[in-house]
Chain A
Amino acid sequence: MSGTWMTTRAWLLMLPLLVVMVAVIGWPLVDTVGLSFTDAKLIGTGGNFVGLDNYTNMLSSTNFSRTLVTTTLFAVISVAAEMVIGVLAALLLNQQFHGRAVLRALMILPWALPTVVNATLWRLIYNPEYGALNAALTQLHLIDAYRSWLGEPGTALAALIVADCWKNFPLVALIALAALQAVPRDITAASLVDGAGPFNRFRFVILPYLAGPLMVALVLRTIEAFKVFDIIWVMTRGGPANSTRTLSILVYQEAFSFQRAGSGASLALIVTLLVTVLAVAYAALVRKSAGSAT
């Protein structure tokens, strides 16, 4: 069989997928780009062409810069915490001990819960009048009066990050655990014979095996954290005083609450661009680390 026929056949086999991709991703994207140059409303007429106005207005607004800072803070801190806690949990669950299977199954639970359920749960925990967190902290004498965790700008974002970590570290742990189980026993045994301590064994023997899969987890989680919407919408709706408003909430308000579809589209594209840049940068890192591991 000739090479060109193989290529043609490959393309033919991929054709249905390509058609679907163009229909569900390509066309809406093109449509959104077109929309972002107009002053279209969500309902009603198509709107007039306004050039780059939506972009310049959005990028120069204090709302945007403030929201970008909040989103970045949220993404960086929560993803970093999820990576650390996830790896530690994986190392723990990789040990042989009684009840390990039960613990592994339990760990998946937060991740399997729908985000809205998770958010409602944490709202109850943080409740300023009857919440479990206040009760626990006062009984431990760590605070002397009940506090409004989601009502103060200083603590609201931190409280959201904790809730997000609780939900998402299991994903990192799961990926890390799978990678850990691929580490050959004889290598870890050899490092023990050579006298490597626990830290060195982790750093030089185990981590190279983890690096690739953890990079994948890092990319996935960063992209998701950057787009965070539901957990924040349920818990604070961006408050108090907009201190927890992220980019996705800004897109939602602009496009749906205020019905400015054009302006909302431009903002959504800015967010898409930011996330794409992050993803490409990470992908380059993954390739590099994959190269160094082998």
Chain B
Amino acid sequence: MLKSIGKTLLGAVFVGGLLVPHAFAETSLNALFMAQAAYSEADVRAMTDAFTKANPDIKVNLEFVPYEGLHDKTVLAQGSGGGYDVVLFDVIWPAEYATNKVLVDVSPRITDDMKKGVLPGAWTTVQYDGKSYGMPWILDTKYLFYNKEMLEKAGIKTPPKTWEELSEQAKIIKDKGIVATPIAWSWSQAEAAVCDYTTLVSAYGGDFLKGGKPDFQNGGGLDALKYMVASYKSGLTNPNSKEFLEEDVRKVFENGDAAFALNWTYMYNMANDPKDSKVAGKVGVVPAPGVAGKSEVSAVNGSMGLGVTAVSKHPDEAWKYIAFMTSQATQNQYAKLSLPIWASSYDDPAVTKGQEELIAAAKLGLAAMYPRPTTPKYQELSTALQQAIQESLLGQSSPEDALNTAAKNSGL
């Protein structure tokens, strides 16, 4: 008797569930983004508003943290049982997130249109061990920005094609008294320093790991750090670079206190905005240089993706949101601070207009993007490298010793 009542009840609930129109089942998603660079906070809010207008049954709560807090916030939220449905993740984290089950494998959700339309290089941002853990969203690498007026004053016709040339041109500019310290980098004890270092490692043809063991202490990895130290000691590099993050680099460049700066895509349109910048209209951009006999250009893969977390109770809605945010239409509309992941966007005049120079640099840079190693121990490796870079710059140890120590402390 009891059993049958139970069954009837269960049946009623089941039928009732089917009868409830879907639109009434309002879902609330929590999403974590970063509060700097690439798309601005206002852009993300506008994109999300457009999504909720098209999907009134899905509500999205947005949260923004600085890049430096993004990883730890994601992991902590997961560890404490609460958490986000959608998270922004850096290219260096999929290995760790996959191993620790922070993100879910979304390979089956990726459509053929996505597979065909998105730039092949962009997929490396979200993949680990043959599976995809999200959609690429911010396609980014470091470019060499230069002040056209300063180069002209110094009688330099073309921006540098090799790192050697960069030093030579910087020396001319310094000697002529145009600017005291011509080059600005982000070498603070943070991931930013590892991104600049990686760009140089790619130029010198170095490896981070070989057979799973550290190899940055040899060959190109060592040459890269030696170049940084030489540039720092020569006075061509702004000595404050060792406490700069990307935004500090932007401010120095926009204030006309640097002839060259290494930074992400977002700086191009900001430095060309007369409201913010003293050098608007004089900003040139080329791919980061190469090394004679080794590389034509250099680039670090600094892309980021959007993924669904393993604790999300609404993975379908979360994916719908991600598909919208990464769609070609959305990305084309906001292409001024972050270039689209879609190949055909680069032939669309609506995207390229007014930033032809950046697009030209992007075509070369994005094709050369060099990955930082995919290992679940990335955070340890990066922390060890940051320390090696800073100790070498400060002259506390030689690049050789510093990198050997880093290799020992990398956890690999």
Contacts and interface: CB of A to CB of B under 8 A. Distances in A.
B251 A129 contact: yes
A152 B240 CA distance: 9
B208 to A, nearest CB: 18
Contact of A148 (B240, B251, B390, B396): B240
B76 A239 contact: no
Given A151-B240, A256-B76, A239 B390 contact: yes
B86 interface: no
A175 to B, nearest CB: 34
B387 interface: yes
Interface residues of A, number: 24
Interface string B217-248: 00000000000000000000001101100001
B100 A41 contact: yes
Nearest to A238: B189
B28 interface: no
Interface residues of B, number: 34
Interface string A249-269: 000010011110000000000
Chain A binding surface, main DSSP class: loop
Interface in A233-253: 236-242, 253
Contacts, number: 79
A258 to B, nearest CB: 5
Contacts of A208: none
Interface stretch (B67-75, B159-167, B265-273, B283-291): B67-75
A1 to B, nearest CB: 48
Given A236-B189, A241-B189, A241-B394, A150 B75 contact: no
A43 B189 contact: no
B79 A237 contact: no
Nearest to A244: B189
B394 A240 contact: yes
B69 to A, nearest CB: 10
A43 B76 CA distance: 9
A43 B390 contact: no
Nearest to B69: A233
Q: Lowest 5 CB-CB distances: which A-B pairs, in order?
A: A239-B189, A151-B243, A128-B240, A241-B390, A43-B100
28 contacts: A42-B79, A44-B101, A128-B240, A129-B248, A129-B251, A148-B239, A148-B240, A148-B242, A150-B243, A151-B240, A237-B188, A237-B189, A238-B189, A239-B189, A239-B386, A239-B390, A240-B394, A241-B189, A241-B390, A241-B391, A242-B189, A242-B387, A242-B390, A253-B383, A256-B72, A257-B71, A258-B377, A258-B379
